[in-house]
């Protein structure tokens, strides 16, 4: 079941949703995202950063994010930052939320 804000968002951008199959049948469908999350965690958050504040942690993560922009994914010819910068910028703004449902 989809939340009302999600339904409004996908309706506004006119796309259909497709969800992974549950269980072992769909386990291969989200592997790249799971692998990337694990790589980032192992590379930058293990051991847990010793920082005095959340602001300091956010500053460190911002520097890591900038460095990641120069990284190229295996099999790709352009950097992550280049791909992000060249995404279409003419998409309409996100619709306003009409309820407090999350």
pLDDT at 49: 93
38-48 pLDDT, tens digit each: 999 999 999 99
65-82 pLDDT, tens digit each: 999 999 998 888 999 899
3-state SS track over the chain: CCCHHHHHHHHHCCCCCCCCCCHHHHHHHHHHHHHHHHHHHHHHCCCCCCCCCHHHHHHHHHHHHHHHCCCECCCCCCEHHHHHHCCCCCCCCCCCCCCCCC
pTM: 0.54
């Amino acid at each position: 079941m989809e939340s009302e804000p999600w339904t409004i968002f996908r309706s506004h951008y006119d796309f259909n949703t497709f969800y992974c199959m549950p269980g072992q049948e769909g386990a291969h469908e989200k592997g790249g995202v799971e692998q990337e999350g694990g790589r980032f965690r192992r590379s930058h958050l293990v051991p847990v950063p010793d920082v005095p504040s959340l602001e300091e942690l956010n500053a460190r993560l911002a520097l890591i994010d900038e460095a990641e922009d120069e990284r190229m994914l295996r099999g790709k010819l352009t950097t992550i930052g280049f791909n992000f910068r060249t995404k279409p910028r003419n998409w309409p703004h996100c619709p306003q939320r009409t309820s407090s449902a999350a």
